[in-house]
DNA sequence: CTGGCTCACTGGACTAGCCTCTTAGACAGT
DNA sequence: ACTGTCTAAGAGGCTAGTCCAGTGAGCCAG
C-alpha cells in the first residue's frame, strides 16, 4: 500500500513509549496530589513501577522537563515545577483542541497591538513589503483565487513592521495552533474583495503612522473575518 | 572548595548533555541548510559524530520533538517539521535574551487584554482568588517583605479569571522568558505599597465587571512597574 | 509487467555498569 | 555541648552493547 496513513487526517497513532509514560506520570502527579516542590519517586523506583527501563523513563522525564512540568536535579531528584498549571494546560490542549474562539481572541489581541506598533515603527522598507502583499492579494483575487497567500504575506509584513521579536514569536506560536487545529480552511472570507479593502485600510493607517487608526482597522478586519468563520 | 556556586544568584547552569545536543543539532540544521521534510542523519551516525551515546541522543531528539522541531518516524528517521521557525525562535531566544523592553511590551499587551476579559468573565470564585492574592501581598508587605509571592498570585488569578487557556499559555511562555532573562530580580518596585494600590484598583474594576476600567488600570500598573524596572 | 520476498537500514527499547553530585549522619576536634 | 569534617548511601547522568520492530528499495519468479 502507499501512503494512506500519511495523508489521512488521523495519524494512526504513534506508539512511542515515552509519550504514554508522560501521560501516566501526569496522571500520577494528579492522583497523588503532589504539589510544586514535591519530588517524584526515584528513577529506578519509578522505572520499575511503570515497567520500563531507566533509559526510556529518562526520555519521558526530558519531555516533561521541556514541557515545564518538572525540574530534574542531579543528586536530588525530579521536583515539580512551581507551575503544575502548565501540565494541565498542555494536557487540555491535546485533548480538546476545539478552542477556536479562544484562538481567534488571542490572535486578535496580538494583531491589534502589532498593527499599532507597525504604525509607529514602520520603515519605508516595511511599507514596501506591505504594499507588495496587497498587490499579490489583489492579483490573486483578480485571478479568481481566494487570495490566501497574499493575506498571509500581509499579516507577516505587519508583524515584521512592528519590530518586536517577542510578539512575533507569540504570533508564530498561535499560527502553529491554527495550523494544527486545521483552522486554516476556515480562513476563507466570503468576499475576498471585502477582506482586501480592510487590508488597505490598515495599510493606509500604517502609512500615515496613526497607531490608533491602525489598531481600529485591524480590530474591524479581524471581526469581519471571524464573523465569516463562525458562519460555518 | 565548597559550594561557592550554589549560593550565587546565578545558577551555575546544569550541564545536561542533551541540552547541549539540542543546540548543536539546531546549529547543524541551520548550517546544513536543511528544509522542512529533510531527514537528519541516522541516530547511530549522529551519535558518533557528536561523540555521545545513542541513549543520550535519543533524549535530545525527544526534546526536539516536544519543541516541535522534528518528527521522528520509526524506520524512516527524524524529519524536520514544516515549521523550522520554531527552531530559530527557540535558538534566538537563548542567544540574545536582552530584549527586556520587548518582553515588557508583550506582557503589557497580553495582561491588559486579560484584565479586560477577567472583568467580563470572572466568577465569584475567581474574585475570591484575586482577593486572596491581595491579602497575601498585603501580609507580606506588612512583614517587611517585597510581596513578590502575592504579586505572582495576583497575576495568576487575573489570568485564570479571563478563562482563556490560549492566552494563559502565551502568558506562561512569557513568564518563562522573564524568569530566564533573570528579570525577576528587577521586579522590585521601590514602593510595594504603591504596587499594592494599583493591584487593588484592577481588582475593583474586575469586581465591577468594567472591562475598560480594568484594562486601563492594568496598563497603568504595568507602566508603573516598568518605570521602576528601567531605573536600575 | 506485476506481485511477493528479502535484506539492509532506521528507530525503539532494554540491560548492566560506572561516574558524578547531594546529603544526612557519624565522628572527630574545640 | 558545639562545630566542622568526612564518609557512605542514594540520587541522577551517561555509556556500551544487544535485540526487536518498522520501512523501503531491489531482486526475482510468475
DSSP codes of every residue in chain A: --SHHHHSSS------HHHHHHHHHHHHHHHTT--TTPBPPPHHHHHHHHT--HHHHHHHHHHHHHTTSEEEETTTEEEEPS-HHHHHHHHHHHH----HHHHHHHHHHHHHHHHHHHHHH--HHHHHHHHHHHHHHHHHHHTT---HHHHHHHHHHHHHHTT-HHHHHHHHHHHHHHHHTTGGGG---S-HHHHHHHHHHHHHHHHTT-HHHHHHHHHHHHHHHHHHHHH-
How many percent of chain B have pLDDT more than 70?
A: 73
Full set of structural domains in chain B with CATH = 17-91 (1.10.10.10), 98-231 (1.20.120.530)
> Average pLDDT, whole number, for chain B?
76
Whether B183 shows a pLDDT value over 50: the answer reads no
**A66, A73, A166: residue with CB nearest B63:** A66
Predicted local distance difference test score (pLDDT) of residue B97: 42
Question: Strand C: which positions are within 7 A of a protein CB?
Answer: 9-17, 20-23
Q: How far is CA A198 from CA A185, A191, A202, A222, B78, in A?
A: 20, 11, 6, 9, 42
**Full pLDDT tens readout for chain A, 232 residues:** 333 333 333 334 457 888 888 888 888 887 888 887 888 998 999 999 999 999 999 999 988 887 777 888 888 889 887 554 444 444 444 444 445 567 777 888 889 999 999 999 999 999 999 999 999 888 887 776 666 677 878 888 999 899 887 788 788 777 766 554 434 433 444 567 788 888 999 999 999 999 999 999 999 888 877 654 443 3
Rounded to a whole number of angstroms, the distance from the CA of A56 to the nearest CA of chain B is 9
Rounded to a whole number of angstroms, the distance from the CA of B24 to the nearest CA of chain A is 17
Q: Which residue would you say has higher pLDDT here, B213 or B96? A: B213
The answer to whether strand D lies under 7 Å from the CB of residue A17 is: no
Ranges of beta strands (E only) in B38-154 are: 70-73, 77-80
Rounded to a whole number of angstroms, the distance from the CA of B212 to the nearest CA of chain A is 14
Predicted local distance difference test score (pLDDT) of residue B4: 30
Report residue B22 as a C-alpha cell.
539540542
Predicted local distance difference test score (pLDDT) of residue B46: 92
> Which chain A residues are within 8 Å of B110, Cβ to Cβ?
109
pLDDT confidence of B81, banded at 50, 70, 90?
A: confident
The answer to whether strand C lies under 7 Å from the CB of residue B54 is: yes
**B58, B106, B166: residue with CB nearest A102:** B166
> Which chain B residues are within 8 Å of A65, Cβ to Cβ?
63
Q: Which residue would you say has higher pLDDT here, B95 or B2? A: B95
Q: How far apart are CA A12 and CA A17, in angstroms?
A: 15
Q: Any idea how long chain A is?
A: 232
CB pairs under 8 A between A and B: 103
pLDDT tens per residue, range B85-121: 444 444 444 444 445 567 777 888 889 999 999 999 9
The answer to whether strand D lies under 7 Å from the CB of residue B31 is: no
- Residues B183-197 have a mean pLDDT of 60
The answer to whether strand C lies under 7 Å from the CB of residue B74 is: yes
CB contact under 8 A, A167 and B62: no
Amino acid at each position: 500500500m502507499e501512503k494512506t496513513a500519511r495523508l489521512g487526517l488521523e495519524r494512526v497513532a504513534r506508539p512511542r513509549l515515552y509519550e504514554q509514560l508522560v501521560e501516566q506520570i501526569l496522571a500520577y502527579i494528579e492522583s497523588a496530589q503532589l504539589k510544586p516542590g514535591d519530588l517524584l519517586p526515584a528513577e529506578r523506583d519509578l522505572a520499575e513501577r511503570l515497567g520500563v527501563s531507566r533509559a526510556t523513563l529518562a526520555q519521558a522525564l526530558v519531555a516533561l522537563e521541556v514541557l515545564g512540568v518538572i525540574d530534574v536535579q542531579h543528586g536530588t531528584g525530579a521536583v515539580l515545577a512551581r507551575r503544575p498549571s502548565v501540565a494541565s494546560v498542555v494536557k487540555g490542549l491535546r485533548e480538546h483542541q476545539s478552542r477556536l474562539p479562544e484562538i481567534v481572541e488571542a490572535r486578535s489581541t496580538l494583531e491589534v497591538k502589532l498593527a499599532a506598533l507597525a504604525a509607529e515603527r514602520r520603515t519605508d522598507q516595511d511599507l514596501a513589503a506591505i504594499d507588495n502583499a496587497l498587490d499579490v492579494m489583489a492579483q490573486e483575487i483578480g485571478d479568481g483565487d481566494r487570495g490566501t497567500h497574499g493575506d498571509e504575506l500581509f499579516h507577516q509584513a505587519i508583524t515584521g513592521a512592528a519590530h518586536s521579536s517577542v510578539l512575533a514569536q507569540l504570533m508564530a506560536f498561535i499560527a502553529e495552533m491554527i495550523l494544527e487545529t486545521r483552522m486554516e480552511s476556515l480562513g476563507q472570507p466570503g468576499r475576498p474583495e471585502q477582506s482586501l479593502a480592510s487590508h488597505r485600510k490598515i495599510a493606509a493607517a500604517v502609512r500615515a503612522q496613526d497607531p490608533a487608526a491602525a489598531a481600529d482597522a485591524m480590530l474591524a478586519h479581524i471581526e469581519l473575518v471571524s464573523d465569516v468563520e463562525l458562519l460555518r
